[in-house]
Amino acid sequence: MAGSIPFEIQIAGKGGHGSAPENAIDPIYAAVQIYQALQSVKMREISAQEPMVMTIGEFAFGKTCNVIPQSGQMSGTIRFFKKEVGAYAIQRIEEIVTALAAALRVEATFITGVFLPPVINDASLTQKLLPSIQAELGEDKVRDYQHKFMSSEDFAFYGEAVPVLYLNMGAGSKAAGYDCSLHHPKVEFDENAMKFGVAALVSAALGFLEV
CA dist 122 and 145 (Å) reads 13
Q: What is the number of structural domains in the chain?
A: 2
Residue 138 and residue 97 share a domain: no
CA dist 70 and 191 (Å) reads 47
Strands (E), the chain: 3-12, 16-17, 52-61, 67-68, 71-80, 107-112
Task: Give the distance from CA 133 to its chain's centroid.
Answer: 29
- Among 87, 104, 110, 91, smallest CA distance to 10 is for 110
Does 167 reside within a domain?
A: yes
Which stretch of 67-71, 74-78, 146-150, 164-168 has the lowest confidence by average pLDDT? 146-150
Does 77 reside within a domain?
A: yes
Q: Which of 65, 80, 112 is the last residue of a domain?
A: 112
Residue 106 and residue 27 share a domain: yes
Residue 196 and residue 97 share a domain: no
Q: Which of 112, 133, 161 is the last residue of a domain?
A: 112
- Among 48, 148, 55, 41, smallest CA distance to 90 is for 41
Which stretch of 62-66, 120-124, 146-150 has the lowest confidence by average pLDDT? 146-150
Confidence of residue 127 (pLDDT cuts 50, 70, 90): very high
Tell me if 103 sits within 8 A of 144, measured CB to CB. no
Q: Which of 81, 112, 143 is the last residue of a domain?
A: 112
Does 96 reside within a domain?
A: yes
pLDDT at residue 189, rounded to an integer: 86
Residue 108 and residue 8 share a domain: yes
Q: Give the domain extent around 69.
A: 3-112
Does 50 reside within a domain?
A: yes
Does 19 reside within a domain?
A: yes
pLDDT digits (tens, 9 = 90+) for 22-50: 999 999 999 999 999 999 999 999 999 99
Residue 67 and residue 134 share a domain: no
- Among 156, 163, 174, smallest CA distance to 204 is for 163
Q: Percent of the chain having pLDDT more than 70?
A: 100
Residue 101 and residue 158 share a domain: no
Residue 46 and residue 77 share a domain: yes
pLDDT at residue 152, rounded to an integer: 93
Residue 130 and residue 104 share a domain: no
Does 117 reside within a domain?
A: no
pTM score, whole prediction:
0.86
Residue 133 and residue 39 share a domain: no
pLDDT digits (tens, 9 = 90+) for 60-74: 999 999 999 999 999
pLDDT at residue 166, rounded to an integer: 93
CA dist 20 and 81 (Å) reads 47
Tell me if 133 sits within 8 A of 207, measured CB to CB. yes
Does 62 reside within a domain?
A: yes
Residue 85 and residue 13 share a domain: yes
Rounded average pLDDT over 152-159: 94
Residue 132 and residue 190 share a domain: yes
Residue 69 and residue 128 share a domain: no
pLDDT digits (tens, 9 = 90+) for 177-190: 778 887 888 888 88
pLDDT at residue 182, rounded to an integer: 79
Scored b (16 or more CB within 10 A) or e, 192-203 reads eeeebeeebeeb
One-letter amino acid at 80 equals F
CA dist 185 and 181 (Å) reads 9
Does 118 reside within a domain?
A: no
CATH number for the domain that contains residue 25 = 3.30.70.360
Task: Please say if the pLDDT value at position 211 is more than 80.
Answer: no
Confidence of residue 3 (pLDDT cuts 50, 70, 90): very high
